[in-house]
Structures are given as C-alpha cells and as structure tokens.
Amino acid sequence: MAVYLDYAATTPTDPKVVQAMLPYFTEGFGNPSSVYSFGRETKQAVLKAREEVALLLGAAPEEIFFTSGGSESDNWALCGLSAANAEKGRHIVTSAVEHHAVLNTAEYLRTQGFEVTVLPVDGKGLVRSSDLRKALRDDTVLVSIMAANNEVGTIQPLKELVEIAHERGAVFHTDAVQAAGHIPLNVNELGIDALSLSGHKLYGPKGTGVLYVRKGTLIVPLVYGGGQERGLRGGTENVPGIVGLGAAASMAREEMEGEMKRQNKLRDKFISAAVSSIEDCHLNGAAGEGRLPGNINLRFDGVSSDSLLIRLDIEGYAVSAGSACSAGAVEPSHVLSAMGLSDTEAKSAVRVTLGRYTKEDELHDYLSILQKSVREIRLASIG
C-alpha cells in the first residue's frame, strides 16, 4: 500500500469537492451567459464560487478571475501587468526561488524588451528587503515574489516587501499557489495587487486556478473573446471546475486553523526525530513559523536523492527531490542552489510534504524506512 507524502506536487480532489462538482457535468450544464433558467443556475454557481475564493483571500468577488491554473495565472500576471504598465517603464523584479511559471515568463519578457532583476535569497530562502530596495528603479513596473516556496516551504515577509515596492510605485504580484488555503493570506492586510492560486494544490480539481487583481490595477486581457471574466479572459466558463475550486476554497477556510496546528506539530516532531536519529541529516530552509506547515525538506550527506527516492518508492512512499517539475532532470534544484547549497548538497535533498489525509503513524513508519534506506545507501557506497 503506497503512502502519499507529496502534497506540494498536487493534492487529491476532496470527495466533498467532487460531490459539489458532479451536478455541473449533467443537469447543470447550461452556459452561464445564457439568459434562460439553465444559464441562470450555472451563472449563480459561478458567482457563489467567486465569492468563496474572495472570502479565502479577503478580496472582493469582482477581483477574482478564474483561469486554468497556477501557471496560467503567473503567465498572465507577469505579461498582463507589465504590458499594461509599460508606458511607465520596462523593468521587472523577481526572485531566484520562484516557480518556473514565473521565472520562464520573466525570461520571455526579457526577449520583449523588458529588463529583469532576479533577487538573491539568504540561506533560508528569504528575499532580503535591502536587496529589493536596491533593485527598485524609477522604471520598475512590477515586482513578483512568491508567498511561500514549493520546495523548502519558506514563507516570504510579503507585507514588508509590498510596502517597499509600493514606495517606488511598482505593482506587486505574488505566486501564492503553495500558501493559499494553507496559511492565512489577506490581500488587503498585505497590500498585494495581484495573486495567483491553483485549485489542485488545495484539494480542488486540476486545471483550475485564479488570478486575483486588485480593483483599479491595470492589466492587459489574456484571452480575447466573449465578455467572460469581465472581458479579460474570454471563453465559456469551466463551470464544474470553478464550482470545485469554490468548494475547495470554502473547505480550506474552515479547516485552515486546525490543519495548520496539526501539520506544524507533525512536521516539527518528524524533523527533530530525523535530525537526531540520522547522522549528517540537515534541514533545508527555515525552521518553525517561517515555514509552511506541511513542508519537510531534508538532506543527507553522502546520499544522492535519486537513489533514496528509488528505495523509498520500492517501499511504497511517494516523496520528491526538489520540485516535481524538474524531477527527472539531472540539474540540482535552482531553489537550493540559490540558498547557497553546493550541487552535491542540493542533489542529496528529499522533500516530504504533508496534507489533510496524512496520519501520524504513516510518518512514524516512514521514519524507520528512511533511517534504514539512508543507512543502506551509505554502507553500499563505502563498499
């Protein structure tokens, strides 16, 4: 029986979310743009989902735009916000630990005449506010820094970073795909102008996401078509997906406080047990409050994560080396490298991410398998 410990890569759709979605594949099939009753019902369902996502973020429903996922939201935010503000300037700031949906979009924008500054991070993966302050220029139009990192779970000091960006008149976008639904996130308290989230990282369906855009923020449309999503992203709405994302957002809001406490405890107990019982085992990233509740990223000196992952898979544990998107590639994680780890260190990291269905005894069993696997790999390499 396999044990899933890779909730940062994706989460299963919650059964309650599936139940909420099902009617919208069958009797609730109407086009939300139609005026007759079939359409009015689905329009209502989309509106309700928009309100649920807005509540999760402390936003207004009309600031929520449904997309096909985190990657689309990130692409739209970077391209749409920079294009809409290009008259003011053509300089963008982001960080070295962003997801590739942000980093590769920034690279594309470079080819379109934008200048991009990629901020370094400290040993825990944090962006220093002094570095942001130094990077900002009169022609900086956009700053994009993630809320929490997908590999090491480091939570960025967004409020402070937003204030610094705003002092220089730049728009602030955050990739909150790992944070939304997992830790408190209020766009007004933080002052954020745009925020990306993804359905499948918070027990919603895959292929669904949101870009929050603060009222009054200029952004260029993503899809030209009918007037859907306030004319900014045309196309008939993915009604079942949107309903599922709304239900997932509402569940996340209800369960957040309890899940945070539960997962923080599981995480910290596991980390201290692993570090004290396995020789030369180190935690990557921040300890305690500065870290996402479900994230455990450890490295084991002299043990390559590839060989460890294979052994753990044979034992039935689904864990990850670095990010799922770069798994299979021999390159060390760009996040761990940016945090100052050597290639060898970065290639000995294993990420375990906990979720809503993780049980304490699963982690207990996993620890003994991990201890055994690390021991065996080290013995084999001594020969």
Ligand X SMILES: *Cc1c(COP(=O)(O)O)cnc(C)c1O
Residue among 69 and 80 whose Cβ is closer to ligand X: 69
Residue among 10 and 264 whose Cβ is closer to ligand X: 10
Residue among 74 and 193 whose Cβ is closer to ligand X: 74
Residue among 32 and 153 whose Cβ is closer to ligand X: 153
Pairing status of strand 140-144 against strand 171-175: parallel
Tokens 């996340």 locate to: 252
User: Rule CB under 6 A: is residue 101 a binding residue for ligand X?
Assistant: yes
Out of 14, 41, 52, 175, point to the residue binding ligand X (CB under 6 A): 175
**Are 16 and 246 in contact, with CB atoms under 8 Å apart?**
no
- Quote the least distance from Cβ 254 to ligand X, whole Å: 22
- Quote the least distance from Cβ 294 to ligand X, whole Å: 12
Partners of 299 in the beta sheet?
A: 282, 349
Site string for ligand X, 275-314 (x = CB under 6 A): ----------------------------------------
In three-state secondary structure terms, 19 is: helix
| Greatest Cα pair distance in the chain | 75
Compute the distance between CA of residue 333 and CA of residue 347 in angstroms, rounded to an integer.
8
Return the amino acid letter for 229.
Answer: E
* Binding to ligand X, residues 315-374 (CB under 6 A): none
Cα–Cα distances in Å, from 90 out to 79, 84, 110, 143, 344? 11, 11, 9, 12, 37
Cα–Cα distances in Å, from 198 out to 64, 263, 265, 305, 383? 13, 20, 25, 27, 46
User: Rule CB under 6 A: is residue 201 a binding residue for ligand X?
Assistant: yes
Out of 42, 144, 178, 305, point to the residue binding ligand X (CB under 6 A): 178
Out of 99, 173, 299, 347, point to the residue binding ligand X (CB under 6 A): 99
Residue 147 DSSP code: S
Out of 32, 80, 153, 209, point to the residue binding ligand X (CB under 6 A): 209
**Are 259 and 290 in contact, with CB atoms under 8 Å apart?**
no
- Quote the least distance from Cβ 147 to ligand X, whole Å: 8
Residue among 82 and 178 whose Cβ is closer to ligand X: 178
Compute the distance between CA of residue 202 and CA of residue 169 in angstroms, rounded to an integer.
32
Residues touching ligand X, count (CB under 6 A): 15
User: Rule CB under 6 A: is residue 181 a binding residue for ligand X?
Assistant: no
Compute the distance between CA of residue 198 and CA of residue 177 in angstroms, rounded to an integer.
5
Residue among 337 and 371 whose Cβ is closer to ligand X: 337
Residue among 211 and 278 whose Cβ is closer to ligand X: 211
- Token couple for 181: 């639904």
**Are 232 and 244 in contact, with CB atoms under 8 Å apart?**
no
Pairing status of strand 171-175 against strand 194-198: parallel
79 tagged catalytic: no
**Are 378 and 287 in contact, with CB atoms under 8 Å apart?**
no
Judged by CB under 6 A, which stretch of 33-41, 194-202, 304-312, 331-339 contacts ligand X? 194-202
* Binding to ligand X, residues 59-78 (CB under 6 A): 69-71, 74
Task: Report which of 205, 142, 204 is spatially closest to residue 174, judged by C-alpha positions.
Answer: 142
User: Rule CB under 6 A: is residue 177 a binding residue for ligand X?
Assistant: yes
Q: Which run of H or E residues covers position 261?
A: helix 239-277
Out of 198, 238, 250, 333, point to the residue binding ligand X (CB under 6 A): 198
User: Rule CB under 6 A: is residue 210 a binding residue for ligand X?
Assistant: no
Compute the distance between CA of residue 175 and CA of residue 148 in angstroms, rounded to an integer.
8
Site string for ligand X, 122-161 (x = CB under 6 A): ------------------------x---x-----------
Residue among 60 and 118 whose Cβ is closer to ligand X: 118
Q: Which listed residue (112, 325, 359, 364) is catalytic?
A: 325
- Quote the least distance from Cβ 154 to ligand X, whole Å: 11
> Would you name the residues annotated as active-site residues?
325
Residues that bind ligand X (CB under 6 A): 69-71, 74, 99, 101, 146, 150, 175, 177-178, 198, 200-201, 209
